[in-house]
Amino acid sequence: MTANAPRTLAGYSLPLSPSGRASMLTPPPWHFSGEVLMVDYRVDPDAAAAFLPDGLDPGADPGAAAAVFAQWQWCSASGAERDHPARNQFGEFLVLLACEFRGRPMARCPFAWVDQPVPMVRGWVQGMPKQFGVVHQSRPALVGVGGPKLAPGGRFTGSLSVFGERVVSASVTVSGLAEHPPPLHTVPLAHTLHFPDWDGGGAPERLVASAVEDVEFSEVWTGPARLEFGAAAREDLGALAPVEVGAGHLFAYGETLLGGTPLVG
Amino acid sequence: MTANAPRTLAGYSLPLSPSGRASMLTPPPWHFSGEVLMVDYRVDPDAAAAFLPDGLDPGADPGAAAAVFAQWQWCSASGAERDHPARNQFGEFLVLLACEFRGRPMARCPFAWVDQPVPMVRGWVQGMPKQFGVVHQSRPALVGVGGPKLAPGGRFTGSLSVFGERVVSASVTVSGLAEHPPPLHTVPLAHTLHFPDWDGGGAPERLVASAVEDVEFSEVWTGPARLEFGAAAREDLGALAPVEVGAGHLFAYGETLLGGTPLVG
Amino acid sequence: MTANAPRTLAGYSLPLSPSGRASMLTPPPWHFSGEVLMVDYRVDPDAAAAFLPDGLDPGADPGAAAAVFAQWQWCSASGAERDHPARNQFGEFLVLLACEFRGRPMARCPFAWVDQPVPMVRGWVQGMPKQFGVVHQSRPALVGVGGPKLAPGGRFTGSLSVFGERVVSASVTVSGLAEHPPPLHTVPLAHTLHFPDWDGGGAPERLVASAVEDVEFSEVWTGPARLEFGAAAREDLGALAPVEVGAGHLFAYGETLLGGTPLVG
Amino acid sequence: MTANAPRTLAGYSLPLSPSGRASMLTPPPWHFSGEVLMVDYRVDPDAAAAFLPDGLDPGADPGAAAAVFAQWQWCSASGAERDHPARNQFGEFLVLLACEFRGRPMARCPFAWVDQPVPMVRGWVQGMPKQFGVVHQSRPALVGVGGPKLAPGGRFTGSLSVFGERVVSASVTVSGLAEHPPPLHTVPLAHTLHFPDWDGGGAPERLVASAVEDVEFSEVWTGPARLEFGAAAREDLGALAPVEVGAGHLFAYGETLLGGTPLVG
């Protein structure tokens, strides 16, 4: 290195380093395989609308919402993370609100929690508001009776705790196979890129859609569901508590997340 | 309550309470459903023999051992815990040594770690030396490519960390189906009941076999394996590090644990 | 090793091993240094009496109780653990009930939670019903205003969560120095040794007192307090919720725990 | 709400919400009170220079570095977080490299880890590359012998583990009081604001200095130190391993962090 050459630090994300390999995040694409417990529900339509930024409309079914628990494994393009279960697994809970962008059905995620730091920061890169929570979720028991069977009568439960308080609890008792995946899990997510302005030079907010490919669903089990927001679901989150609970769904899901596409009104 | 009646505190375990329902542990039977990653390996036969208490012999295949990762769900007789995934799931890693009691093939577990407190204490009740560790283990990806597929070429990894240091790491690349479950997972476990003497009135050590029923195996995938003990596997544990690594196995397993039976020499 | 010599496995606790050094627990004495947040309170005297085993009486002040949060560092005789903060620190919350054994003032601990596995198991060795919980507690801020000052007006908070639900929350606003340590922190603890019977050969329950020496208190700050049991304090624990809240105390405390002494009626 | 009014979502950070109170981060100022264990050390000067972005120079003492463990409490302007120890405490480890901006002494932080999510994301807002790790650090024992005394001969230890592997371990044996705080803890930090470009509209990197006020030091204990990077300190981090270890320091520190100031070359 000579003193006169401009020094460059590399990396997709912080930490930047000489080689770029110290970056906490790998660049997309990111591949995901997950097991999902999802409950359709309805919120007060005005409450839902109040969570939609300019550019998104409530659409054809105002107040349609979903509560989604998932246990994920992920890897980046190299696939290297697949050999590191301490790094490539995480649990997630998120709320989805039905909406439209210029007539195109989409979903808005007002709240999300994950239990690992890498997907949390990766959420912020996308404009997805992932916070940190403790997520638990039943797995299908393949043999034995220690857990629920993925068969009629099997009851699966998800729970979210944040800072030591129970925020959400849900369960689904599967009764049969659905013909289609739940609609709110098939539409693109519309996020708002928003970075706190630290030095007076911050970028403006931008509405973006997540671009995914290689979407894959297993068969979808469905049945009656329970969904409860606890006392710790305060203020804005509390406004999205269920006014009606619909069907629940159990399925596996895979996708590749490619990047973000501006939604220009 | 009258002052003269003897007061009784109830419970299968501490905490004892008026109703007995405060007990940390439910009484057996306990039902278990787990997903297992197991690696056959060999240790120095003298090292293995040094871990067998009086009454157990090395048997027909001295030095035969196994490293076992498992992700469990459990419930007690009522099944109530199945609805509480925050309570009924845990990860485990344990070492098994082949041995015999009066010519009967058994397994001795010199070391075990779990990542939840209830199964840890439940281990001590059985004489199973469960300590606290952080266990990670790949799950089969049903769709998508975020994790390994349970199909030829799928590579599954397990890791154990204790007090922030990596102790064990293993992986299995499944290549096909085995005809039989791995033998060391089919024999009874022989534990030593041992309670530190706190008040001068302690009970003597006793050798016991765990009694199980309703054992159930899924199909067993098998293939070449890797097994490494880290620098943090010190002293006695280090003596059980692999001198040779055999085949690896992936399977689901269910059992009901009933209690302990004295092994009387 | 010859085949005819009886094999011996050594250790104060499980895991037993050839050298004995694999034992999860070191033998007593154990030295403790802690920072304590304690709230005096009163429970329904009948509820308290129902938690006293035969041999213990409510004594002169039935219903006197305390809620105690502590952040501990510990070491065994060698002092070696002092160099391993990942091993020698833990947080604790416990309830104390005033009682007497043959006219001698003592304290009964019906419930306790710690956030590390070694002190949890060590509790069971003593008959102290330690379960696993997440404990948080304010520390005095020596400089800056990020935390409370140990000076008049400084408010200190403790909280306990178990399985993702808030169980207890308390705060003390210190106003001045007390002349004496809080009495319930100065009397011996009376525990019940109780081991679930696994093989039909279990030992009977025994009432024991913890023997300590080198007890040391810092100055004791005191002031008004708040104490709340959450909705997750169910059934037996709920019966010990406060009917009246007294003064709170902040102090540092050191002791050496030597072993247990039978309390023979 | 009328359909024609532009909808606004508020918040300093994600999650944005109607009230703005759902934001994960409060806006600055943020007040900090911490207990610090710091070890002066030296790295290879070329390795240090390779971590300095354009605009920063190695300065008068190339290769001067420090390893800093801290246990923090924090609150925002309202002080509300002081009553929530589950939210306002975190542990941190960071590396500091001596550098200069246009002749002004500063410090560059190439790597940092914290054990709570809020300070992690808050770091990214500032350009500080905070990742997630498990940090342990001795506290002074005020009474008893369970932990080290802040007195000559007292030995304090810090450790960092990431993804279950030990990365850094350090200890300081205090021998006396220093006359001045350690220089690398008294200069401003120069960070690089860097946000991965998600949608093709990302902001350029910017060099910023953190602006702080109300800096306060306790007395500073000092003495010989030990500092070790483990095998898990790979690649770029490994390049900053110590080539020489200097003195260690124990002190309390307070500051208020106000925001970022562009460093314009």
Assess contact for C249 and C227: CB atoms under 8 A. Answer: no
| 3-class state of residue D64 by DSSP | strand
The CATH class for the domain spanning D30-139+154-262 reads mainly beta
Which of B 85-144 lie inside 8 A of C, CB atoms?
A: 86-87, 110-112, 116-118, 120-121, 124-132
- The residue of chain C with its CA nearest to that of A169 is C164
Please tell me the distance in Å from B171's CA to the nearest CA on chain A.
Answer: 8
Q: What is the pTM of this model?
A: 0.96
Candidates B82, B168, B215, B221: best to mutate against A (most CBs of A within 10 A) is: B82
Give the per-residue pLDDT at C200.
87
Tell me the CA distances in angstroms from C239 to C41, C48, C139, C162, one per residue in order: 13, 8, 30, 17
The model's pLDDT over B207-225, given as tens digits with 9 standing for 90+, comes to 999 999 999 999 999 999 9
- Amino acid B57 reads D
D46 shares contact with chain A (CB less than 8 Å): yes
Four-point Cα dihedral C115, C121, C124, C130, nearest 10: 10
DSSP annotation string for C134-148: EEEE----SSSSSS-
Query: How confident is the prediction for chain B on average, in pLDDT?
Result: 95
Beta-carbon separation of D136 and B164 below 8 A: yes
B12, B26 Cβ separation under 8 angstroms? yes
pLDDT at residue A7, as a whole number = 59
- Asked if B159's CB is within 8 angstroms of D161's CB, the reply is no
**Among all chains, which residue has been given the structure tokens 């050459």?**
A5
Cβ pair B32:A88 closer than 8 A: no
Q: What is the mean pLDDT of residues C205-216?
A: 96
Any residues with CB less than 8 A from the CB of A71 and at least 6 apart, and which? A34, A35, A89, A90, A91, A92, A135, A137, A139, B139
Sign, CA dihedral C229-C230-C231-C233, equals negative
Q: Percent of chain B beyond pLDDT 90?
A: 92
Question: What are the tens digits of pLDDT across the range B168-205?
Answer: 999 999 999 999 999 999 999 999 999 999 988 877 88
Give the sign of the dihedral formed by CA D155, CA C36, CA D92, CA D253.
Answer: negative
pLDDT reading at A265 higher than 80: no
Whether residue D156 contacts residue D137, with contact meaning beta carbons closer than 8 Å, is answered with: yes
DSSP annotation of B57 = B
Q: What is the three-class DSSP state of A245?
A: strand
Interface of B with C in 184-243 (CB under 8 A): 192-196, 198-203, 206, 208, 235-237, 239
For chain B, the structural domain boundaries read: 30-139+154-262
Helix (H) or strand (E) holding B35: strand B30-42
More confident residue, D234 or C104: C104
Cβ partners under 8 Å of residue B179, min gap 6: none
3-state secondary structure B106-150: EEEEEEEEECCHHHHHHHHHHCCCEEECEEEECCCCCCCCCCCCC
Q: Does the pLDDT of residue A128 top 90, yes or no?
A: yes
d(CA C155, CA C135): 17
Is D86 within 8 Å of A163 (Cβ atoms)?
yes
Torsion angles phi and psi, residue B156, rounded to 5: -115, 140
Average pLDDT over residues D97-107: 97
Smallest Cα distance from C61 to chain B, Å: 16
Tell me, what's the pLDDT at B258? 97
**pLDDT tens for the 265 residues of chain B, in order:** 344 455 679 999 999 999 999 999 999 999 999 999 999 999 999 999 999 999 999 999 999 999 999 999 999 999 999 999 999 999 999 999 999 999 999 999 999 999 999 999 999 999 999 999 999 999 999 999 999 999 999 999 999 999 999 999 999 999 999 999 999 999 999 999 999 999 888 778 899 999 999 999 999 999 999 999 998 998 899 999 999 999 999 999 999 999 999 998 5
Q: How far is C198 from chain D (nearest CA, A)?
A: 34
Question: E strands, chain D, where?
Answer: 30-42, 64-76, 89-101, 104-114, 130-132, 134-137, 155-162, 165-173, 176-177, 190-193, 206-217, 221-229, 244-262
pLDDT at position A3 is: 45
| The pLDDT value given to residue A201 | 80
Q: Using an 8 Å CB-CB cutoff, list chain D residues near B231.
A: 231
Contact predicate C154/C148, CB 8 Å:
yes
User: Which residues in chain B have their CB less than 8 angstroms from residue A252's CB?
Assistant: 141-144
**In B97-112, which positions are buried (b, 16+ CB within 10 angstroms) versus exposed (e)?**
bbbbbeeebbbbbbbb
Contacts of B248 (CB under 8 A, 6+ apart): B37, B38, B39, B40, B156, B170, B171, B172, B173, B174, B222, B223, B224, B225
What are the structure tokens assigned to B241, written together?
């590090």
pLDDT at A1: 38
At D50 the three-state DSSP class reads helix
* Cα–Cα dist A11/D110, whole Å: 12
pLDDT for res B204 = 81
Q: Quick count: other Cβ atoms within 10 Å of Cβ A215?
A: 14
Length of chain B in terms of residues written: 265
- Which residues in chain B are contacts of C7 at CB distance < 8 A? 49-50, 52-54
| Chain C residues near residue B128 by CB distance under 8 angstroms | 14
For residue C177, the tally of other CB atoms under 10 A from its CB is 11
Q: Is B184 helix (H, G, I), strand (E, B) or coil?
A: helix
Split at pLDDT 50, 70, 90, the class of C6 is low
Q: Please count the CA atoms within 13 angstroms of the CA of A76 that sit on its side-chain side.
A: 13
- The CA dihedral of C169, C173, C177, C182, to the nearest 10 degrees, is -20
| A218-234: pLDDT as tens digits | 999 999 999 999 999 98
Enumerate the residues of chain C whose CB falls inside 8 A of the CB of residue A161: 161, 164-165
Q: Mutation target for C interface from B9, B116, B162: give the one with most C CBs within 10 A.
A: B9
Tell me how far the alpha carbon of residue A219 is from its chain's centroid. Answer: 20
What is chain A's Cα-based Rg? 20
Task: Output the CA torsion sign for B123, B126, B128, B129.
Answer: positive
* Chain B contact for A148 (CB, 8 A cutoff): yes
The span from the CA of C64 to the CA of C226, in Å, is: 16
Which pLDDT does position D2 carry in this prediction? 41
Among C172, C182, C157, C171, residue whose Cα is nearest residue C223: C172
Q: Cis omega (within 30 of 0) on the bond before D29?
A: yes
Distance CA D132, CA D128 (A): 13
CB contact under 8 A, C136 and D254: no
C-beta of residue C141 within 8 angstroms of C-beta of residue D254: yes
